[in-house]
Amino acid sequence: MGENKVTSVKWGILGTGWIARKFADDLAFVENAECLAVGSRSIESASRFAQAHGVTRAYGSYEELVQDPDIDVIYVATPHPFHKENTLTTLRAGKAVLCEKPFTVNSTELEEMIKLAREKKLFLMEAMWTRFLPPIVKVREWIKSGRIGEVQLVKAEFGFKTEWAPEHRLLNLELGGGALLDTGIYPVSFASMIFGAAPEKMSSTSRIGTTGVDEQFSLLLDYGGGRSALLSGAVSLGLTNDAYIHGTEGYIHIPSFLNAKTATLHADGAEAEVFTDHRESAGYNFEAEAAGQYLREGLLESPVIPLDESLNIMKLLDEVRAQWGLKYPFE
């Protein structure tokens, strides 16, 4: 897609769950973007979604959605065990894809998706919305300009205590449940963003619950040269959900980093500097705006979260699960 071919970006949303609703609402905050169509496995669900979110077209199947000739890009908002199938269906129809995180269940699935996108020269991106939030953009600027010196340690965690419901996707092994892929993708991706490379070594621990999923975990990633990341995630334990980046000349604190609204720079010898985002949206508009800009520029992937980085992250998650002996029944 060249710059002159895409002006106002027309979106299709594949799926009608909670995250799809959030994304549709936030598209209202994006200039030159329109939520044109939604697809579900039933026309009733698609129609209810369309009516609730001001979407023009509703389709009772994913196949009908991806065949709509007026759609520029499709946001895949289904649970992660279905990302591969839904993304491949969309790519085969010639549509660009923004796929919700985690990109896939394992690296083999993601390799297949990347291969097809590159063969067909179509845009593909993981919807790691955190990276596009203004406080996180500011954090990258602080680090790049050397405000805290050389980064040595990253600490990040995301966890909450979910109600006991064995059939819920978070606790259901058949649905790829567990903390690592659901909450863990955030701290792991955050560390990857900061250090910009795959870790040289990894050690981990987890608590496997009665349903067979990892209910909580901790990781220690070694990036060489004494640089490390301490990461945790949980679906059965409430955590602070904060992130800290420690450098040789100060540190950065990001409360609730995954949906960050503030970030504080503590540079040695200086007063604390606070960056605050007063957004009215939930924050999904920033990744949508970025994806639209990439399409207008004719890019096939995001420079902020490149496909090879997403693949390295998924390979790391595979390695972690292998340490635990955790495999999903459908793999």
Asked if residue 38 lies in contact with residue 20, where contact means CB atoms within 8 angstroms, the answer is: yes
Torsion, CA 307, CA 312, CA 317, CA 323, rounded to 10 = 160
- CA angle, residues 52, 176, 42, in degrees to nearest 5: 30
What angle do the packed helices 107-120 and 307-324 form, to 10 degrees? 160
Long-range contacts of 128-131 (CB under 8 A, 24+ apart): 128/101, 128/185, 128/189, 128/287, 128/305, 128/310, 129/101, 129/283, 129/284, 129/286, 129/287, 130/186, 130/189, 130/190, 130/257, 130/258, 130/259, 130/260, 131/189, 131/193, 131/287, 131/304, 131/305
Asked if residue 135 lies in contact with residue 258, where contact means CB atoms within 8 angstroms, the answer is: no
Given the residues 84, 95, 101, 155, the one annotated as active site? 101
CA–CA gap between residue 169 and residue 177 (Å, rounded): 5
SS3 98: strand
Annotated catalytic residue 101: yes
* Rama region for 298: left / alpha / beta (φ>0; ψ in -120 to 50; rest): left
- The type of residue at 10 is K
Dig out the tokens for 158 from the structure.
């995301």
- What is the per-residue DSSP string for 270-307? S--EEEE---SS-STHHHHHHHHHHHHHT-SS-SSS-H
Dig out the tokens for 277 from the structure.
């985002």
Catalytic residues: 101
